[in-house]
Amino acid sequence: MNLQMSMEHQRQVLFVRFSGELDHHTADHVRMKLDEAINMKQTEHIVLSLKDLQFMDSSGIGVILGRYKLIKSKGGKMAVCDVNPPVYRLFEMSGLFKIIPIYKNEDEALSGLEVVS
């Protein structure tokens, strides 16, 4: 299965929605696209919506952790939302939830990032 990714900017927040598999086959493409969006747009924060992400491996964790470090170095925050059970378990085992907050949906993530509407 392939990965589909859509990106949308709202109020200097980059919303990234994944569908499919974020693995070693797709990680480099995702890394390049996210870095480009972060560096070319006025991106202060990132919200990752993982509702339709069926699979993620360690390469996907590396992509997310790298973008977390990048946005944090610019003074921003990252949040994840709509995480399905298999991906949730991977986040939990990897310890990512200790540094990246999880929310029920995009609206809650936006509120959690304290972005004023």
Model confidence over 66-108: pLDDT tens digits? 999 999 999 999 999 999 999 999 999 999 999 999 999 999 9
What is this structure's pTM?
Answer: 0.92
What domains are defined for the chain? Answer: 3-111 (3.30.750.24)
Average pLDDT for the chain: 92
**What are the start-end ranges of the H helices in the chain?**
27-40, 58-73, 85-94, 106-112
